[in-house]
Amino acid sequence: MDEHATDGRRRIVLVLGLIVVGILATQTAVLIWFVTSYVQTVPKLGDTLDNYIDSQIDAGSEDPTLRGDEPLLRSRKVLLFQDVNSRTAKEISARLMYLNSLDPKKPIDLYISTQGGWTDNAFTIIDTIRTISAPVNTWAIGGCYSAGALILVTATGRRYATEDVILMIHANLDSPTGAHSYPSLALERYEGVWKNNSSLPSSWYPMTNDEEHYLSPKEALEYHVIDEIVPVERAGLTGGRGTAGGRTPQRRHSPAAARRER
């Protein structure tokens, strides 16, 4: 009798064990399916989000209104204080072209404080700077990150930074997939700007590992990303560019600046 009872209990335990194993296996299979589905969906969600952002930007991309009586335009100052996208690229480029049409020899000051943005739109602004005759001075104020730093370094005039600015160079391009693929062309274009206009460490290339290199004004001056550090009160947004308080700005003659001056 005891043996039969023991066998019965063993069978019950075995059945219960099999049930538990079955439940765990089912849950594991469901979890694997969920994770796999999520991983496959993430790129699609990313593409959808990018498309949504672009559509919202384009929806507000009416032609910028330029008024000659604007105080900043009268003093030939242009502000880039937003993310770099198609809308801001159109607005900044229009203002640069407008000021160039008024006087193609008088310098324009472009003030940059941005978290960054789209590389192609940054190159729209860069190509405009290169196309117009008027020299464009760039000023990094506050925070000048990623696409903003890319625009900063391509000035056809002087490149300034205030004493407390933080700059960031972003190595976030895709790895090349072929000689004539978009990643290869984009990487060549992106790195070309930095190689031709600065003296960044060779260890920062190739710029495909998503690293973020933060620079102080002194480091930016050392790497020839800027030409001069100025006191914030001398940035020129509220008055002239005379040195305030008797302080002398820090300057460095860079090979890139020499090329621009020739």
Q: Which residues are catalytic?
A: 146, 170
Render 212-239 in DSSP notation, one character per residue.
EEEE-HHHHHHTTS-SEEE-GGGSSSSS
Q: Residues with Cβ < 8 Å from 75, sequence gap 6 or more? A: none
Question: What is the three-class DSSP state of 101?
Answer: helix
Residue 59 structure tokens: 């929806």
d(CA 58, CA 48): 15
Q: Please say whether the beta carbons of 146 and 168 come within 8 A.
A: yes
| Number of CB atoms found within 10 A of residue 236's CB | 17
Q: Please say whether the beta carbons of 166 and 143 come within 8 A.
A: yes
d(CA 147, CA 54): 17
Residue 150 structure tokens: 């890319």
State the sign of the Cα–Cα–Cα–Cα dihedral 206, 207, 210, 215: positive
Angle between helices 119-131 and 86-102 (to 10 degrees): 10
Residue 46 structure tokens: 């990313």
